[in-house]
């Protein structure tokens, strides 16, 4: 009786595992599905923006007023956080720690 029950459990387990594996492999093996039209438009716009940004090297379709305002804001941030003329704000700061002076106290 217990051998029959054990055999039945093994069959059920293997059935469940094969169903799960089949379900997962179908998703994994499925070719890249075509995007819906809205997603495709979004992806196209992102790629177009990346191309324009690479060509201009900065903001895309920025007017001189926008560039001036950006420069002003970046200078304001640099001054607020210790930057200024000739200071590279993208570089990690270097810290110099000197040896502390230790005073010796004798407690009696």
DSSP state string for 9-24? HHHHHHHHHHHHHHHH
CA distance 21 to 15: 10
CA distance 69 to 75: 10
Largest alpha-carbon pair distance within the chain?
A: 87
For residue 35, what pLDDT is reported? 65
More confident residue, 51 or 25: 51
pLDDT at 50 over 90: yes
Q: What angle do CA 92, 94, 95 make, to 5 degrees?
A: 135
In sequence order, which residues have a C-beta less than 8 Å from that of residue 70 and are 6 or more positions away? Answer: 59, 62
7-22 pLDDT per residue, tens: 667 777 777 777 776 6
Average pLDDT over residues 37-61: 91
CA distance 65 to 73: 12
51-102 pLDDT per residue, tens: 999 998 888 888 999 999 998 998 888 888 877 777 787 788 888 899 988 8
């Amino acid at each position: 009786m217990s051998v029959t029950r054990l055999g039945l459990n093994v069959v059920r387990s293997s059935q469940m595992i094969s169903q799960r594996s089949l379900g997962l492999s179908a998703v994994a093996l499925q070719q890249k599905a075509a995007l819906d039209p809205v997603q495709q438009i979004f992806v196209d716009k992102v790629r177009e923006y990346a191309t324009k940004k690479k060509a201009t090297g900065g903001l895309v379709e920025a007017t001189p007023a926008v560039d001036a305002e950006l420069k002003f804001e970046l200078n304001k941030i640099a001054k607020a956080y210790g930057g200024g003329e000739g200071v590279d704000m993208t570089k990690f700061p270097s810290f110099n720690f000197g040896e502390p002076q230790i005073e010796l106290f004798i407690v009696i």
